[in-house]
Amino acid sequence: MTGQEAAYGRRATAAAARWVTGLFAPQVLVIVLPPVVGLVADGWLGAGWGLVASALCGGVPAGVILAGVRSGRLDSHHLVDRASRTKPLLVAVVAVLVALVLLASLGAPRLLVATVTAMLAALALTVPITLRWKVSFHAAVSAGTVVVLARVLPAVPTLVAGALIVATVCWARVRLRHHTPAQVAAGVVIGAGSAWATLAAFGV
Between CA 6 and CA 34 the distance in angstroms is 42
| Nearest-5° Cα angle at 143, 141 to 146 | 105
Between CA 145 and CA 195 the distance in angstroms is 8
- Identify the segments of the chain with pLDDT beneath 50: none
Q: What is the pLDDT, as a whole number, of residue 110?
A: 93
Q: What is the pLDDT, as a whole number, of residue 130?
A: 87
Between CA 96 and CA 73 the distance in angstroms is 23
H helices of 24-154, in order, are 26-53, 60-71, 86-105, 110-130, 137-152
Whole-structure pTM value: 0.89
Q: Domain extents for the chain?
A: 14-202
Q: What is the pLDDT, as a whole number, of residue 80?
A: 61
Q: What is the dihedral of CA 9, 27, 201, 148, to 10 degrees?
A: -50
Q: What is the pLDDT, as a whole number, of residue 6?
A: 61
Q: What is the pLDDT, as a whole number, of residue 94?
A: 92
